[in-house]
């Protein structure tokens, strides 16, 4: 048997305290539904397939936005690192977009791109792109010049340097940027689905919340947290396998 | 008489502009013959690495000319293989991938590439480590792979920038022996930069001593005796005398630089 994961003890204590506070009456239902009620609704929603159906809708949106962000972000980051004029032109724009809370511009995107999926995907892509561009740019700029010289002395042309040296050398940093983007994708996705949608986990939270079904609402929130956690773990495990040449810090 | 493998003619190198300008190298004249092993030794800041980077084509001299086998050096190329103290290897490639890198850049087909890589893996005694990544190897092993990676490109001259500088004393001696053996076996021309006087004498058939500010050639000494693999340098009187002679010459420069 594997050793008991000590790390989850604090989490279990929090859940136990929550349940104890509800059962003893110290925490009224109107303030926070009990953990057992939330768990019961979650199991019911999982059984009925309701969660699965909305997860699929959300996953398609977040996935499309995220993939677009990786493609555009890595390309833009590399071009910025390579061509100074592009960096000087694009950097101020990125710096201005950075502090904007992305959910705040969802209505604007809906005016431009319609209230359908496209505007949601676009805002997810924009939000996810920023950490990826930054990470790619920094990664590509911090490639050790000796590594570039080493490649040139082994016959790599100026044009091939990007693929043979700069991109692989920047991969660990790009991977870290992509990890941040995964979390951002989930946050922006839910916000976008709050504002307008007929399906998706954000829609589910919003409609249960509006209907006063706090236990069901919280169940979806907890499900989302677990989903995000799992995605992150899977991503890291995948990275360690695919990039075993790099010593990851965590 | 055939022309030298590498010719350096009145090389000067300046960094910066106006009053801020630094004369890194001045009036360097040096010819290196085919199959010669030349070591360059000098105090830090004497421009010995800069000189090597000029030969590599990574930097361009402010004045003078460099020719390799009669052709002017215009930029980096696989005819000059370089090994740095670190960062010669690509961390994302295995030992096999690293040694075969130059071959694949030159379009050598996979089967032929594997055959050549195997040959160099044997030369550096790293059989069984072909599929390891650089971070899984010790510093000494990494430098042996870097040497093999460079040799596999079949360069006309091997440029080495303090390649054993980051290694412990024992590993360093082993690698010096290995490099000397490979130099004899492969009949290569080597230009080797070091700040370690003993290393300069242990490897170089000719030793160039450099002076600092501006970096220039102070003297060039022929070793005039053979050094065998695994030799105890301390027991060789001629070795000890030459080492002391060069050490005093370098010390003079270190003290001059400090004054």
Q: How far apart are CA B85 and CA B232, in angstroms?
A: 25
Quick check: is A157 in a domain? yes
- Tell me the ipTM for this assembly: 0.90
- How far A135 CA sits from the closest chain B CA (Å)? 18
State the smallest CA–CA distance between residue B82 and chain A in angstroms.
Answer: 7
* Cβ separation A155–B149 shorter than 8 A: no
CA distance A194 to chain B (A): 43
Residue A81 is assigned to a structural domain of this protein: yes
Contact A155 B150 (CB under 8 A): no
Measured between CB atoms, does B76 come within 8 Å of chain A?
yes
**Residues B47, B48, B53, CA angle at the centre, nearest 5°?**
95
Minimal Cβ distance to A147: which of B78, B87, B105 = B87
* CATH code at position A159: 1.10.3720.10
Find chain A residues with C-beta within 8 A of B134's C-beta.
245
In this prediction, residues A100-123 reach a mean pLDDT of 89
In this structure, is residue A20 part of a structural domain? no
Q: Is A165 on the interface with B (CB under 8 A)?
A: yes
Q: Residue A162 — pLDDT band, cuts 50, 70, 90?
A: very high
The answer to whether residue A123 sits within a structural domain is yes
CA distance A147 to B247: 33
Asked if the C-beta of A167 comes within 8 angstroms of chain B's C-beta atoms, the answer is no
> Which domain does A110 fall in, by range?
37-238
- Contact between B153 and A151 using a beta-carbon 8 Å cutoff: no
Question: Is the Cα torsion angle B58, B108, B134, B125 positive or negative in sign?
Answer: negative
Residue A69 pLDDT > 90, yes or no? yes
Residue B1 pLDDT > 70, yes or no?
Answer: no
pLDDT at A250: 58
Does any domain span residue A12? no
Share of chain A above pLDDT 90, in %: 77
pLDDT exceeds 50 at position A125: yes
Q: Is B120 on the interface with A (CB under 8 A)?
A: no
* Tens-digit pLDDT profile for residues A70-80: 999 999 999 99
Does A245 reside within a domain?
Answer: no
Helix runs in chain A, H state only = 9-23, 35-48, 50-82, 84-97, 106-113, 117-141, 145-152, 158-161, 167-195, 201-210, 214-242
Q: What domains lie within chain B, and their CATH numbers?
A: 6-79+157-258 (3.40.50.300), 87-154 (no CATH)
Q: Which residues contact B180 (CB under 8 A, 6 or more apart)?
A: B37, B202, B203, B227, B229
Q: Note which residues in 12-51 of chain A have CB less than 8 A from chain B.
A: none
Residue B230 confidence (pLDDT): 80
Angle B36-B138-B143 (CA atoms, 0-180°, nearest 5)?
20
Residues 6 or more apart whose Cβ sits within 8 Å of residue B183: B37, B190
**A175 is a domain residue:** yes
How many Cβ atoms are within 10 Å of A116's Cβ, its own excluded? 11
Task: Tell me: pLDDT of B17 over 80.
Answer: yes
Q: List, for residues B24-43, the tens digit of each pLDDT value.
A: 999 999 999 999 999 999 98
User: In chain B, pLDDT over 90 holds for what percent of residues?
Assistant: 77
How far is Cα A45 from Cα B194, in angstroms, rounded to an integer?
Answer: 71
Q: Flag whether residue B149 sits within 8 Å of chain A, measured between CB atoms.
A: yes
> Is A120 within the bounds of a domain?
yes
The answer to whether the CB atoms of B90 and A156 lie below 8 A apart is no
* Count of structural domains within chain A: 1
**Range picked from A15-19, A101-105, A196-200 for highest mean pLDDT:** A15-19
pLDDT band of B227, cuts 50, 70, 90: confident
């Amino acid at each position: 048997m594997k050793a008991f994961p000590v790390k989850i003890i604090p989490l279990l204590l929090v859940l136990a305290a929550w349940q104890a506070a509800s059962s003893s009456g110290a925490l009224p239902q109107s303030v926070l539904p009990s953990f057992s009620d939330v768990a019961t609704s979650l199991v019911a929603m999982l059984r009925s397939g309701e969660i699965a159906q909305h997860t699929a809708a959300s996953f398609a949106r977040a996935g499309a936005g995220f993939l677009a962000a990786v493609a555009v972000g890595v390309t833009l980051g590399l071009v910025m690192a390579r061509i100074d004029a592009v960096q000087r032109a694009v950097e101020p724009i990125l710096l201005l977009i950075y502090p904007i809370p992305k959910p705040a511009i969802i209505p604007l995107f809906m005016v431009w791109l319609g209230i359908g999926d496209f505007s949601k995907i676009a805002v997810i892509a924009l939000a996810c792109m920023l950490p990826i561009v930054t990470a790619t740019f920094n990664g590509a700029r911090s490639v050790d010049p000796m590594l570039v010289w080493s490649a040139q002395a082994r016959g790599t042309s100026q044009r091939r340097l990007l693929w043979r040296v700069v991109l692989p050398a920047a991969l660990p940093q790009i991977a870290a940027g992509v990890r941040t983007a995964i979390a951002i994708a989930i946050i922006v996705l839910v916000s976008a689905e709050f504002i307008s949608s007929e399906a998706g986990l954000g829609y589910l939270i919003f409609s249960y919340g509006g209907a006063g079904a706090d236990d069901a609402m919280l169940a979806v929130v907890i499900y989302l947290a677990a989903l995000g956690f799992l995605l992150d773990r899977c991503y890291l495990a995948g990275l360690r396998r695919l990039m075993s040449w790099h010593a990851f810090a965590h | 008489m055939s022309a030298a493998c590498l010719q350096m003619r009145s090389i000067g190198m300046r960094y910066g502009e106006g009053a801020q300008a630094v004369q890194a190298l001045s009036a360097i004249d040096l010819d290196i013959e085919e199959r010669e092993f030349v070591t360059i030794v000098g105090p830090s800041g004497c421009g010995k690495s800069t000189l090597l980077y000029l030969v590599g084509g990574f930097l361009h001299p402010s004045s003078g000319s460099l020719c390799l086998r009669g052709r002017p050096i215009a930029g980096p190329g696989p005819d000059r293989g370089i090994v740095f103290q670190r960062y010669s290897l690509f961390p994302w490639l295995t030992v096999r991938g690293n040694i075969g890198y130059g071959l694949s850049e030159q379009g050598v087909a996979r089967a032929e590439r594997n055959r050549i890589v195997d040959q160099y893996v044997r030369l550096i005694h790293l059989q069984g480590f072909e599929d390891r990544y650089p971070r899984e190897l010790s510093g000494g092993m990494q430098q042996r792979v870097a040497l093999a990676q460079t040799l596999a490109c079949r360069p006309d001259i091997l440029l080495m920038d303090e390649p054993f500088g980051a290694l412990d004393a024992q590993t360093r001696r082993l690698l010096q022996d290995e490099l000397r053996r490979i130099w004899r076996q492969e009949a290569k021309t080597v230009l080797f930069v070091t700040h370690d006087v003993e290393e300069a004498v242990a490897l170089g058939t000719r030793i160039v001593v450099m002076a600092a500010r501006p970096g220039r050639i102070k003297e060039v000494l022929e070793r005039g005796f053979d050094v065998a693999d695994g030799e105890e340098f301390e027991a060789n009187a001629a070795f000890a005398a030459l080492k002391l002679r060069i050490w005093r010459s370098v010390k003079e420069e270190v003290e001059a630089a400090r004054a």
